[in-house]
Amino acid sequence: MRLARRFAAGVVLALAGMTMAGCAMAGHPTLEEARAETQAVLQQIADEVPDGVVEVRTPDSAYLACDGGGYYSINHWVVTPGPEFDGEAFVDALPERLGDGFVVAEVVDIKSPAVALNHVSGAALDVVVLGSDGDVVVDLLGLAPCGDGEPPTE
């Protein structure tokens, strides 16, 4: 899973850079609204995984500051599919199954089946099928658009 962590960290940085322009726009949502919308989108993707069991994994740094104020929310989910799951076929069919609110940002060139998506809400999403020790999971990483407000303190 070390590869997955490195990939996820690299993707977060790349996504943050690609979405910085969104912070400059006036009238963006609150941080909680952006986070909730991104989680709803992640749930929509998770629902496409046959017999999927979702585990929410909050990263150590779940928020990144936006230029000009506000924060991005980083959301990481892992979905364990049912038996006989075909990761490559899943990734290939996913954009069409999700519908018009999603646009393929790029097809990620790694050994695992993967796709990067943008959602009309402004969320940037990575979907990667990972295998480790015979187990297969669908790794979902969602970067919410820049939201107004401060992250919660814990």
Q: Which domains, and CATH codes, for the chain? A: 2-143 (3.30.2030)
43: left (phi over 0), alpha (psi -120 to 50) or beta: alpha
Tell me, what's the pLDDT at 122? 94
How far is CA 51 from each of CA 48, 113, 133, rounded to the nearest angstrom? Answer: 9, 19, 20
pLDDT in tens, 92-116: 999 999 999 999 997 667 888 999 9
Tell me, what's the pLDDT at 22? 42
Tell me, what's the pLDDT at 26? 52
Tell me, what's the pLDDT at 133? 67
How far is CA 88 from each of CA 62, 65, 71, 102, rounded to the nearest angstrom? Answer: 29, 34, 33, 19
The strand pairing partners of 63, in sequence order, are 73
pLDDT in tens, 2-58: 444 444 444 444 444 444 444 444 567 999 999 999 999 999 999 999 999 999 997
| Helices vs. strands in the chain: H and E counts, helices first | 3, 7
DSSP reduced 3-state for 128: strand
d(CA 146, CA 71): 5
- Predicted TM-score (pTM) of the model is 0.80
The strand pairing partners of 76, in sequence order, are 141
